[in-house]
Structure 1
Amino acid sequence: MLERSTFPTLAADPARPVGLHYYSWVVFALGFGLLLSDYMSRQVLNAVFPLLKHEWALTDTELGALGGIVALMVGILTLPLSVLADRWGRVKSLMLMAGLWSLATLGCAVATNFGEMFIARLCVGIGEAAYGSVGIAMVLSVFPRRLRSSLSAAFIAGGPFGSVLGMALGGTLAAHLGWRWAFAAMAIFGLTLVAVFRFVVTEPRLKAQRARIGEDKGDAAAPKRLALRPLVSALFSAPSILYTYVGSAMQLLVTGALLAWMPSYLSRYYGMATDRAGLTAAGFVLAAGAGMIACGALTDWAARNAPTRKWLMAIAYSTTSCVLLVAAFHTPAGTTQMVLIFAGMLLVGGTAGPASAVVANLTHPAIHATAFATLTLANNLLGLAPGPFVTGLIADRIGLLGALQIIPLAGLCATLCFGIGRKYYAADLRRIESERASQAQT
């Protein structure tokens, strides 16, 4: 293992060129496409919940387990696999991940019972475990850092957009061809993208692009391997980054629950058929994806001269979405409820951009994949994994409507964490910059 090296400062260099090249957008497009495949493979299950429940006589708790196991595996494995990706190579790692989750999704298509489906879904989770963190690190590496909130939000929005496609296409295919073809189609899409990615994205091309836009300064001095102790310190020493991890996870608990259960909710309380429920739920998820992008861009604009405003924006998103969603599920089924759910979904993912930007700003680019893996770990273990499962557990006792009236209250925990984190952020940033400046002098 190499000795600890000095991290160059995170402060922006005003003289740094920020001109973009088309290859940056090619990398973004392919990375975004694979994230679509990731979530299409993950969320297609939600569209066929009613069919599986009927065919295999499953309980809501079992359905929630099929949805939650993917996020659980992502939470458990994202950090170690991301550390390996930082060392082994991000491009090779991404191809391996995407190939695994696509083949596992094909396994879902041929499952004959709950146990086989559970194992296949577990393998989907293993494949997807580190994609979000490694993928976003790859994308951010070929863009200027001034665009981090916008690009982070736009990239992460691939999750909701992939969920939209997974539920909409999955519901339609399941209604016309059977639920097995819904999984098979997602697998074919993923394997096709892996083949394209293999020939277009390479480590030498990424390095050349970083040099072209001036984002490779300090690469020679940046450690390829960092000892465990300084790595842990870099990831967890700042109080503001800890509150960011937890706040982001609490908000995603709400998001994950709604992504998983909206098709079932529409089927049970609005009497929609499988295909129509999938399409309608996809519309709500599309709102979440569009909201992520819009909120990320709005955050960059609002914080262009005052970076700490990112925290205020995150607080506003989490608080407002909580109020809207709680009000929605206490409103009788009908147009008013649908409008409130739509408005809540627009803002529920708004914290993704600010949270990712904070993590990027408080860690060195050399360990960004590991840093985003830590954020992903928190998001999944505390948010996306328990969200669908806990909702199903509560639904088996008081009904799905009652569960969805309770789950959005997790947004209040997110608001509290962002509020506390904001108080530490400026001091944490100054301390980290000071430590690195001192190291540079020695």
Structure 2
Amino acid sequence: MIAITSSVEESIGAPTAGTSSSRRRLYPWIVFGLAFALLLSDYMSRQVLSAVFPFLKADWSLTDSQLASLTSVVALMVGLLTLPISILADRWGRVRSLVLMAVLWSVATLACALAGGYEHMLIARFMVGVGEAAYGSVGIALVLSVFAPQVHAALAGAFMAGGSFGSVVGVSLGGVIATQLGWRWSFAAMAVLGLLLAAAFKVLITERRLAKYQVRRPDGGVVVRRAPFSSLFTNPAVMCAYVGGGLQMFMAAVMLAWLPSFFNRTYDYPPARAAVVASVFVLLIATGMIGCGYIADRLSRNDITGKWTVGIGYCAIGFVCLMAAFRLDTGAGQLALLAIGAFFSAGSSGTTAAMVAGLTHQSVQASGMGTLTLANNLLGLALGPMVVGILADHLGLLGALQWAPLAYLPAAAAMLLGKRLHPRGLAKLQTLDAATTIKSDEES
């Protein structure tokens, strides 16, 4: 994170006159820090379920597909509702929307702690998904609005890594709490944290303050009207970023949901130890999202299309390592390949987010990120765990995991097509930009 900080010291949006230099540097990082903390809470509430899978399976005699449904219903609702809620947030106010989302998912997580059976838990998890639906898209749009484009891949990767870091804490802490106090207390702890962070965000972040630090156009242009919503789907390169970004999340989502059970069943670890060991690999996923985003920014300083190439490389590494890992016998060799695969498994997240940010109009950028989140959830976070859960009922969990990395192949193909279409997509954006802005010296 130090490397990222130093690289963006001079890339933070300039505030209005009269704001001190120290405040100019500090406030965008306060925005990032609080938004990142809420994303941690988001995924802690979402992924704590994985840590208590063994307890729920024993208490309620659930099948693997039922367990998978409790995970996938959240991602499904996030996928279905992200775009409409992101559109509303662009109009209603991003800060107000983010606070409301955090309160809703926290209250729903508390309801999980009170669930009396599978049906009650499914309804509560449904509401967790409703609350979390657009947080990632609106939050990242808010963060990127106060930082310059040349560091967007690193910041997007770091922000999105909050999901994995939150999963680490949610899985490991949830497993420990469930073992010591019971699984219901795991959900209750996550709920209280979310409510506290929502209150802090409400106090410290306001639309008025954000407006002072928003990055201005290099030519001094001012947006005079909103770009049409259809522009999110008529840019061919952006469409490739949506598809490639969603599919490259497939395997990361599988590992987030099923690694605790993998170590419980394959290595015969007790649930608490399996959750802790799995959290190490989830931490590698998060670290990889940050590191891979930073590397992509560095390698593409002179050619923005280099982000596509780097993203394709990350998919290739993840595919090779994870295909091999799940076919090896248990032991050090398997764990080493799992570690490498985990690091690169979601490495393309920052690159695809940077492509979406760079190829969509600023007036609908939250909606663009919402569309990317929709793809991430429908093609990755919802589809991955559910497909593996269904296959596991027939092939066993290990057998299902052996086939899951195949999702990287169409992901890489979409990114390759996106690179070829990038010039056409950039030309479309420039035409749209010219039609919706005026130069500042032309303002009446």
Q: Is the 8 A contact 1:324 1:344 kept in 2?
A: yes
| Distance across 2 between alignment mates of 1:397 and 1:409 | 18
| Distance across 2 between alignment mates of 1:115 and 1:238 | 42
Aligned counterparts, 1:324-335, within 5 A: 324-335=321-332
Decide which of 303, 307, 310 is 1:310's aligned counterpart: 307
Please, what is the CA RMSD of the aligned residues?
1.9
Cα pair distance change 1:435/1:81, threshold 3 Å: closer
For 1:157, what is the secondary structure of its paired residue? Answer: helix
Decide which of 190, 195, 200 is 1:196's aligned counterpart: 200
After TM superposition, give the deviation of residue 220 of structure 1 in Å: 5.1
Decide which of 341, 345, 367 is 2:342's aligned counterpart: 345
After TM superposition, give the deviation of residue 244 of structure 1 in Å: 1.1
| Distance across 2 between alignment mates of 1:406 and 1:249 | 18
Aligned counterparts, 1:351-390, within 5 A: 351-390=348-387
Tell me the percent identity: 49
Cα pair distance change 1:295/1:341, threshold 3 Å: same
| Distance across 2 between alignment mates of 1:30 and 1:179 | 28
Q: Is the 8 A contact 1:144 1:215 kept in 2?
A: no
Residue 402 of structure 2 corresponds to which residue in structure 1?
405
Residue 264 of structure 2 corresponds to which residue in structure 1?
267
Say if 2:121 is the partner of 1:121. Answer: no
Residue 319 of structure 2 corresponds to which residue in structure 1?
322
Decide which of 398, 401, 424 is 1:427's aligned counterpart: 424
Larger mean Cα displacement after TM superposition, 328-337 or 427-436:
427-436
Aligned counterparts, 1:41-56, within 5 A: 41-56=45-60
| Distance across 2 between alignment mates of 1:121 and 1:427 | 41
Residue 159 of structure 2 corresponds to which residue in structure 1?
155
Q: Is the 8 A contact 1:142 1:215 kept in 2?
A: no
Residue 166 of structure 1 corresponds to which residue in structure 2?
170
**One-letter amino acid of the counterpart of residue 103, structure 1:** V
Cα pair distance change 1:398/1:430, threshold 3 Å: same
| Distance across 1 between alignment mates of 2:314 and 2:116 | 42
After TM superposition, give the deviation of residue 272 of structure 1 in Å: 0.8
After TM superposition, give the deviation of residue 430 of structure 1 in Å: 2.5
After TM superposition, give the deviation of residue 22 of structure 1 in Å: 0.2
After TM superposition, give the deviation of residue 197 of structure 1 in Å: 0.8
**One-letter amino acid of the counterpart of residue 229, structure 2:** L
Decide which of 239, 242, 245 is 1:242's aligned counterpart: 239
Larger mean Cα displacement after TM superposition, 250-259 or 73-82:
250-259
Q: Is the 8 A contact 1:248 1:351 kept in 2?
A: yes
After TM superposition, give the deviation of residue 236 of structure 1 in Å: 1.0
After TM superposition, give the deviation of residue 21 of structure 1 in Å: 1.7
Residue 10 of structure 1 corresponds to which residue in structure 2?
none
Say if 2:390 is the partner of 1:393. Answer: yes
Residue 231 of structure 1 corresponds to which residue in structure 2?
229
| Distance across 2 between alignment mates of 1:432 and 1:198 | 34
Residue 84 of structure 2 corresponds to which residue in structure 1?
80
Decide which of 145, 149, 154 is 1:145's aligned counterpart: 149
Residue 68 of structure 2 corresponds to which residue in structure 1?
64
Decide which of 24, 28, 39 is 1:24's aligned counterpart: 28
For 2:223, what is the secondary structure of its paired residue? Answer: coil
After TM superposition, give the deviation of residue 435 of structure 1 in Å: 4.8
Cα pair distance change 1:219/1:436, threshold 3 Å: closer
**One-letter amino acid of the counterpart of residue 429, structure 2:** I
Unaligned runs of 5+ in 2: 1-10, 16-20, 440-444
Q: Is the 8 A contact 2:235 2:428 kept in 1?
A: no
Cα pair distance change 1:216/1:72, threshold 3 Å: farther
Cα pair distance change 1:222/1:140, threshold 3 Å: farther
Residue 6 of structure 1 corresponds to which residue in structure 2?
none
| Distance across 1 between alignment mates of 2:254 and 2:55 | 19
Cα pair distance change 1:146/1:379, threshold 3 Å: same
After TM superposition, give the deviation of residue 434 of structure 1 in Å: 3.8
Say if 2:106 is the partner of 1:102. Answer: yes
Runs ≥4 residues deviating over 3 A: 16-20, 213-220, 434-442
Output one character per residue of 1:223-252: Cα deviation in whole Å (capped at 9) or x when no partner: 3x55xxx311x1011211111111111111
Q: Is the 8 A contact 1:141 1:215 kept in 2?
A: no
Q: Is the 8 A contact 2:237 2:424 kept in 1?
A: no
| Distance across 2 between alignment mates of 1:51 and 1:218 | 58
For 1:21, what is the secondary structure of its paired residue? Answer: helix
Cα pair distance change 1:222/1:68, threshold 3 Å: farther
**One-letter amino acid of the counterpart of residue 80, structure 1:** P
Q: Is the 8 A contact 1:44 1:182 kept in 2?
A: yes
After TM superposition, give the deviation of residue 326 of structure 1 in Å: 0.5
Q: Is the 8 A contact 2:224 2:436 kept in 1?
A: no
Q: Is the 8 A contact 1:256 1:388 kept in 2?
A: yes
Q: How many residues align?
A: 421
**One-letter amino acid of the counterpart of residue 270, structure 2:** A
Q: Is the 8 A contact 2:325 2:335 kept in 1?
A: yes
Output one character per residue of 1:96-137: Cα deviation in whole Å (capped at 9) or x when no partner: 000000000000001010000000000000000000000001
TM-score, normalised relative to structure 1: 0.92
After TM superposition, give the deviation of residue 201 of structure 1 in Å: 0.5
After TM superposition, give the deviation of residue 217 of structure 1 in Å: 7.8
Q: Is the 8 A contact 1:262 1:281 kept in 2?
A: yes
| Distance across 2 between alignment mates of 1:72 and 1:244 | 20
| Distance across 2 between alignment mates of 1:260 and 1:57 | 19
| Distance across 2 between alignment mates of 1:83 and 1:283 | 36
Residue 93 of structure 2 corresponds to which residue in structure 1?
89
| Distance across 1 between alignment mates of 2:392 and 2:287 | 29
Decide which of 37, 40, 52 is 1:36's aligned counterpart: 40
| Distance across 2 between alignment mates of 1:81 and 1:439 | 23
